[in-house]
Chains A and B, each alone.
Chain A
Amino acid sequence: MREIDRRSKYDRRVFLKGAAVTAPAVAIATSTGLGITDAWADEAGTLTPATMKTLLKVARDIYPHDFLGDSYYITAVKPWDDKAAKDPAVKSLINDGVARLDQEANERHKMPYAQVAWENDRVALLQRIEESAFFQKIRGDLIASLYNNKEVWPRFGYEGSSAEHGGYIKRGFADIDWLPKA
C-alpha cells in the first residue's frame, strides 16, 4: 500500500520566518534564541499575552493531539486577537470566558487555568463551562481552524486535493493488501 509520509512538514524555522514578516516580536525571539512559546502571545494587540496563552492551552485540551506541536494550535487560536480588535463583543466574550475559567481554576486549584498541571483537571474545569457561549465559540471555531489547516492534513494521513495529480487511479485507490481472502 502507498502510505502517507506523516513527518512534520511544518518546519519550525520556516514557520518563524513566515511569521516574522508581520510579527517582529517573533523575529526578536528567534534572534535572541528564545522559544516561540511566549513570544507569539506577546504580539497580540488586543488580548493580553496571558489570555492568548490560556486560549492555546484550552485549544490543546479541547482537541488534544500529542503528535501536533503547539505551532498548529497557535495558528488556530491567533486569529482571535484580530477578531477581538474588530469586534468589542468578541473581545469581552474571550476576556470574560478566560476570566471565568481562571476563577473556576483558582477556586479549585489555587492557580490560573493554564497552570493547572494535569489535563484531566483542566478538562473537568472546561466541562463546567461547556454550555457557555465562550466555550462553544472556541470549540466550534477549532473544528475549522485546526482541522482545515492544510499543514495538519498529512499528519493525519489525509492527502487533500487529488485532481491535479490525476486522481488516485494510478496512486493507490485499490492498493489495500491486508484483507482476509474472501
Chain B
Amino acid sequence: MAKFDLNDSGVVVIVGSGAGGGTLGNELAQKGIKVVILEAGPRIENQDFINDEWDSFGQLAWSDMRTTSGSWRVHKDFPNIPAWIVKAVGGSTVHWAGASLRFDEHEFKIKSAYGNIPGANLLDWPITLAEMEPYYAKAENKMGVTRTNGIPGLPGNNNFKVLEAGAKKLGYKEVHTGRMAINSEPRDGRGSCQQIGFCFQGCKSGAKWSTLYTEIPKGEATGNLEVRPGSMVIKIEHDQSGKVTGVVYADETGAMQRQKARVVAVAGNSIESPRLLLNSASSMFPDGLANSSGQVGRNYLRHMTGSVYATFEKSVHMYRGTTMAGIIRDEAKNDPKRGFVGGYEMETLSLGLPFMAAFLNPGAWGRSFTSAMEGYPRMAGMWLVGEDLPQETNRVTLDPNIKDKFGMPVASVHFDDHPNDVAMRDHAYKQGAAVYEAVGATVTYPTPPYPSTHNMGTNRMSEKPRDGVVNKFGQSHDIKNLFVSDGSQFTSGAACNPTLTIVSLAIRQADTIAGAMQRKEI
C-alpha cells in the first residue's frame, strides 16, 4: 500500500472518503495519479458494523458539535444533530440506503423550468442531463445499480408489498423495488443481499455499494492511493499567487501535520466542506477560500422530507429486509397544478423500535404516542423525498462562539422551509396516507423530517463566478487547483437521492483533474 511523504507536493489531497472523495480517489489512482485521502473518522470494516440502531449511531455517526437555527423542526428536536451522516472511512456511503436515481432533464435547469419564485435563489446547472448521461452510465455500472446493466431488481419485502398494493389501488403506474446499488445477485466480488435490514447501520454482508469496500481498496491496490483515517483537516493553505499548497490536519494522535499537495479536493459533505473553506480564511482571502461570490455555505439544501407510517390490522414486520427497496415515482414529475414546483419520490422506509421511539414524533408522550408504538409490528412506512428550493439564507456558517477541540469554529446550520417545500410536504403526506388507506390502514402518522441525510448545495456550481463557488467540473472559480467533490457542488437538489449524481460527478471530475494535470494547467 502506498505511503506518501508529508512534503510530497505532487499528490492530490482529498478531504473525505465518501461517495465523492472515495470515488474520486480511486478514479485518480487508476489513472496513475498519487492520492492521499484524509478521512476524519476511523476505518471500520463490515464485520464490525452493529445491527443495533443506537450502538451503530455511536459507532458511525458524525456527532461532533454543531449548532442550528431557523424554523425547521430539527432545530427544536435535535439542536446539535442537524445531519445524520457518517464519520468513518466510506463516509455516508456506509449509512446510505442505496437508492440510485438519475436527475430528470428539467432538474438540471430549474430556473428555466420553474421561473422566478419569490424567496428562492434558483439557478440552472452549468451542465445538462445529456452531458451527464455517459457518467451516470459509468456510475451505475461501477455501483451495480439494479434495473440497469441487465441487473435484476431486488425482491420486494413485506413493506414494499404493502406500498405496491396501495399504489396500484390508487392508480400509480411506476412502482417497483427501485434502482438500488445493492446486489440482487453476486457481482464485483460481493455477494447478494441477505435481506438483513439495518441498511443504515452499515451493510454487514457488503451487498450494498460503499466506497469503504469497493473504491477504496481498489484504489489502494494500484499503489497510488493512501487513506489516512482519523485525520481531521482544519485548514487549507495557499501561496502568495493564491494557489493552494496543502492542508493542515490533526492526525490520529491529535498532532498537527502539514500535507503538501498539487491539488486539493474537498469532499467532507455539505456541512464540513463549506466549514473548511470558511475556516481557511487568510489575509488574501478574508471571507474564506473560493468565496469571492459570498456563496460558500449558502443555498443549503436538505430535500423536502417527511415520512408516513401506517398501522394495519395484521402484521407487516416492515423492518425485515432491504430498507429502501421500494419506490413510487409518479409524483416525481414537475406538475405545478399540484400547488408547487418540482416533485417528490415515495420510497419504502423502516426504523427499528428504538429509532421509531426517537423519530416518530419527537417530544411526544402519553397514550396517543404509546398507542402508535404498540402498533409497531403492524406498521408499514415510507419516506417522502422531494426537491427543496435553494435559498440564500439557508446556510452553513461558522458558529461565533463554539470551537472544536482543535480551536476551530464549529459549523452552524440555518434552515427555513420555503413555502413551496411546505406545500409539497403537505401534498406528499396526503398521498402517502392515501396509499396505505387504500389497503386498509387503520391509522396513519405524518412523521416530521429526521436530521438531514441528504446535504447539498453549499458550494454550488454556477456558470458565472458571481452566482456560485465552483464551475461545471467542481473546480473553484477563484482557485484553479482547489476542487469540491461532494454534494455541496449541487446547484439544485432534484427530487431523487443524491448519491448516484455525486458519484457520476466524481468520475467526471477525475477526468478533468487528470487532464488539467497532464496539460500542466494545475
The residues of A with any CB-CB pair to B shorter than 8 Å are 1-4, 61-65, 67, 123, 139, 143-144, 146-148, 152-153, 156-164, 166-169, 171-176, 178-180, 182
| 26 A-B residue pairs with CB within 8 Å | A144-B54, A144-B354, A144-B358, A147-B354, A147-B373, A153-B353, A156-B377, A159-B319, A161-B52, A161-B198, A162-B197, A163-B51, A163-B196, A166-B194, A167-B193, A167-B321, A168-B320, A168-B321, A172-B317, A173-B155, A173-B195, A176-B315, A176-B316, A179-B162, A180-B439, A182-B164
- Tell yes or no: B357 within 8 A of A by CB: yes
Is the CB–CB distance between B367 and A179 below 8 Å?
Answer: no
B394 smallest CB distance to A (angstroms) = 27
Alpha-carbon distance between A163 and B51 when the two chains are bound, in angstroms = 7
Which of B196, B197, B363, B373 contacts A156, CB < 8 Å?
Answer: B373
Within 8 A of A (CB), among B412-463: 439-440
Q: Which of B62-82 contact A (CB under 8 A)?
A: none
Query: Which B residues are closer than 8 A to A by beta carbons?
Result: 50-54, 155-158, 161-162, 164-165, 168-169, 193-198, 204-205, 314-317, 319-321, 352-354, 356-358, 363, 365-367, 369-370, 373-374, 376-378, 439-440
A161 CA to B378 CA, complexed, in Å: 19
Interface of B is mostly: loop
- How far is the CB of B443 from the nearest CB of chain A, in Å? 16
CB <8 Å contact, B376 and A65: no
Q: CA–CA, A146 to B155, complex, Å? A: 34
CB of B377 within 8 A of CB of A163, answer no
* Chain A nearest CB, measured from B190 CB (Å): 15
A87 CA to B260 CA, complexed, in Å? 47
Contact partner of A178 (CB less than 8 A), chosen from B197, B314, B354, is B314
Tell me the complex Cα distance, A178–B353, Å: 23
- In the bound assembly, the distance between CA atoms of A157 and B75 in angstroms comes to 32
CB distance from A79 to the nearest CB of B (A): 15
The answer to whether B377 touches A173, judged by C-beta atoms less than 8 angstroms apart, is no
Q: Is the CB of B155 within 8 A of A162?
A: no
Q: Which chain B residue shows the least CB distance to A6?
A: B377
Q: Is the CB of B357 within 8 A of A143?
A: yes
Contact of A157 with B354 in the complex, beta carbons under 8 Å: no
Contacts of A62 in B (CB 8 A): 365-366
> Contact partner of B366 among A4, A123, A167, A169, CB < 8 A?
A123
List, in ascending order, chain B residues with CB within 8 A of A2's CB. Answer: 317
Question: Contact: A160 with B51, CB < 8 Å?
Answer: yes
Inter-chain contacts of A172 with B (CB < 8 A): 158, 317, 320
- CB of B78, distance to nearest CB on chain A (Å): 11
CB <8 Å contact, A143 and B358:
yes
Nearest first, the 9 closest Cβ-Cβ pairs linking A and B are A157-B377, A173-B321, A167-B194, A161-B51, A167-B196, A147-B357, A158-B353, A168-B320, A173-B195
The distance in angstroms between the C-alpha atoms of A79 and B50, with both chains bound, is 25
Given contacts A156-B376, A174-B161, whether A65 and B370 have CB atoms under 8 Å apart is yes
Q: Which residues of B contact A160 (CB under 8 A)?
A: 51-52, 352
Contacts of B369 in A (CB 8 A): 63
Q: Are A173 and B320 within 8 A (Cβ)?
A: yes
Q: Of all chain A residues, which has the CB nearest B207?
A: A167
Q: Which residues of B contact A157 (CB under 8 A)?
A: 315, 317, 376-378
In contact, B194 and A176 (Cβ under 8 angstroms): no
A1 to B105 CA separation, bound complex (whole angstroms)? 43
* Given A144-B354, A176-B161, residue A162 in contact with residue B315 (CB < 8 A): no
State A67–B45 Cα separation when bound (angstroms).
Answer: 40
* Min distance, Cβ A160 to any Cβ of chain B, angstroms: 7
Chain B residues with Cβ below 8 Å from A171 are: 320
B residues within 8 A CB of A162? 51, 196-198, 320
Residues of B with C-beta under 8 A to A159: 317, 319-320
B47: nearest chain-A partner, CB-CB: A163
Q: Do the beta carbons of A176 and B195 come within 8 Å of each other?
A: no
A112 vs B196: C-alpha distance when bound (angstroms): 49
Which residue of B54, B196, B314 has the most chain A CB atoms within 10 A of its CB atom?
B196
B376 touches A158 (CB 8 A): yes
Return chain A residues, CB-CB under 8 Å to B156. 174
How distant is B195 from chain A, measured CB to nearest CB, in Å?
A: 4
Q: Are A176 and B54 in contact (CB under 8 A)?
A: no
Q: Is the CB of A148 within 8 A of B320?
A: no
Give the Cβ gap from B65 to chain A, nearest Cβ, in Å. Answer: 18
Q: Which residues of A lie under 8 Å from residue B193 when comparing CB positions?
A: 167, 169
- A180→B438 CA distance, assembly (Å): 10
Give A152 to B376 CA distance when docked, in angstroms: 13
Indicate whether A167 sits within 8 Å of B197 (C-beta atoms), given known contacts A174-B156, A174-B161: yes
Q: A144-B354, A157-B317, A160-B352 are in contact. Are A169 and B365 (CB under 8 A)?
A: no
Q: Which A residues are CB-close (under 8 A) to B314?
A: 1, 178
Bound complex: CA A133 to CA B162 (Å): 41
CB neighbours (8 Å) of A144 from chain B are: 54, 354, 358
Which chain A residue has the least Cβ–Cβ distance from B160? A174
Contact status of A173 and B157, CB under 8 A, knowing A143-B357, A166-B194: yes
Most chain A Cβ neighbours within 10 Å, of B50, B193, B321: B321
Provide the residues of chain A in CB contact with B197, threshold 8 Å.
162, 167-168
Chain A neighbourhood of B205, CB < 8 A = 163, 167
Q: Which residues of A contact B204 (CB under 8 A)?
A: 163
Docked pose: A60 CA to B156 CA in angstroms: 38
Interface centre among B50, B52, B194, B439, by most chain A C-beta atoms within 10 angstroms, is: B194
Of A123, A148, A172, most buried by chain B (CB within 10 Å of CB) is A148
Alpha-carbon distance between A173 and B315 when the two chains are bound, in angstroms:
12
What's the Cα separation between A168 and B195 when bound, in Å? 5
